[in-house]
Amino acid sequence: MTGVEVVETVEGLRSRLDAERATGRRVGLVPTMGFLHAGHASLIDAAAADNDVTVVSVFVNPLQFASDEDLADYPRDPEADMEVCWLHGADLVFAPSVAQMYPEPGVPDIEVGDLASSFEGASRPTHFGGVARAVSRLFDIVGTCRTYFGEKDFQQLAVVRQMVADYNIPVEVVGCPTVREHDGLALSSRNAYLTAAERREAPVLCRALMVGAAAVAGGETNPDTVSMLMAEMVGSATTGELDYAAVIDPDTFEAPPRIARAGVRLLVACRFGRARLIDNMAAVPA
């Protein structure tokens, strides 16, 4: 048994947090889909350090899964999740049902804009619309707060920030660094889908990003050349199916004509059997 309080209803969480804010206490929110790992733990650590009350939401959001994706098989371990939350300083776990999150007539659609149209938005057309509905609903329930997202899902972080700005939501969005395994693989709940052989190959994504970042640091200014270097690295070292290897302006998610002094963001996505993995890295000229 842990000391984390679990709240399952919208009204229960609202009343609890309204009482906390009435005494001047600051609220931090870490939205998750559960199956928590060290990456999530780092977000909880950051929220607990910055705020007086830390809420971790655990909700496997059906709206961000396409019909051919892994909703039914998405990994779940509620007991382990509670342990992670307790060990890393969470005060409350919000574990709502689908009916609590999406009451009739339902949460309205959220316009996610151009940032959501490329890369993950192109590969998974319904994904960001589903993310935006769940996250906007959480913000409505939790109220004024700081919220913490990992940079591993860099496009998601950008979409959430844009949504907060577009809809004037009273939430501060904090991006936190990607947490990696010892061999560079970015932590993700979907790593659980990897076979042993695929797990040995998957760190190539990080290595490809490092090759791209080294090229930029070495003076390469042509984004197509950097993208090609990353794609070649993935193709030469894995049986996985590359989705994209790209160089983008981190503010617009468009390919810059040249890599400028301010730098770029490198993106890569690859499918390893059942697991589709994404990763990214900043790249700045020396």
What's the residue count for the chain? 286
Q: Give CA 143 to chain center in angstroms.
A: 20
Please, what is the angle between helix 38-50 and helix 78-87, to 10°? 40
DSSP H helices in the chain: 10-22, 38-50, 78-87, 98-101, 120-123, 127-142, 154-166, 196-201, 204-217, 223-237
3-state helix, strand, coil in the chain (%, to 5): 45, 20, 35
R_g of the chain computed on alpha carbons: 19
What SS3 string covers 180-196?
ECCCCCECCHHHHHCCH
The structure tokens listed for 278 are: 């994404």
The DSSP H or E segment spanning 148 is: strand 145-150
Residue 40 bears catalytic tag:
yes
Q: How far is CA 188 from CA 21, 137, 150, 193, 286, in A?
A: 33, 23, 11, 10, 30
The catalytic residue among 40, 88, 127, 182 is 40
How do strand 264-272 and strand 275-283 relate by DSSP bridges? Answer: antiparallel
The contacts of residue 112 (CB under 8 Å, 6+ apart) are: 121, 128, 129, 132, 159, 162, 163
The contacts of residue 157 (CB under 8 Å, 6+ apart) are: 149, 150, 151, 173, 175
By annotation, the residues acting in catalysis are 40
